[in-house]
C-alpha cells in the first residue's frame, strides 16, 4: 500500500471515530433534554393543580353566604334595620 493511501485510510478512520463520538454526545444531550422536559411538564401539571385549588378556594371565600357568616362571627356585624338605612339622593 502506498503511503498516501494509508494516510487516507487513517484519516477516514479518524473521521468515523469522530463522527461516532458526536453521535453519542448528541444522543446523550437529547436524553438529558428529554428528562428535563418531563420534569418541567410534571412541575407544570402540579402548578396547574395548585392553581385550580386556589381558584376554588377563592370562589368559596368570596361566596356571599360565607362572607356574611364570617362578618357575623368574627366582626360581630349585623344587617341594619330599616330605621337605620338612609337613602341619599343627589
Q: CA gyration radius for the chain?
A: 36
CA atoms within 13 A on the CB side of 32: 6
Look at residue 76 and give its three-state secondary structure.
coil
- Domain ranges across the chain: 3-77
Dig out the grid coordinates for 23 from the structure.
453521535
**Global pTM?**
0.58
Residues 6+ apart with CB under 8 A from 77: 71
Helix axes 3-61, 64-74, angle to 10 degrees: 60
Q: Which residues of the chain have pLDDT under 50?
A: none
Of 56, 87, 75, whose CA–CA distance to 48 is shortest? 56
Amino acid at each position: 500500500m502506498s503511503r498516501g493511501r494509508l494516510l487516507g485510510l487513517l484519516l477516514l478512520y479518524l473521521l468515523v471515530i469522530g463522527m461516532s463520538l458526536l453521535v453519542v454526545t448528541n444522543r446523550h444531550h437529547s436524553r438529558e433534554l428529554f428528562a428535563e422536559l418531563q420534569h418541567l411538564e410534571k412541575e407544570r401539571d402540579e402548578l396547574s393543580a395548585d392553581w385550580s385549588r386556589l381558584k376554588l378556594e377563592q370562589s368559596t371565600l368570596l361566596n356571599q353566604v360565607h362572607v356574611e357568616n364570617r362578618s357575623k362571627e368574627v366582626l360581630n356585624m349585623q344587617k341594619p334595620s330599616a330605621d337605620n338605612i338612609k337613602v341619599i339622593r343627589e
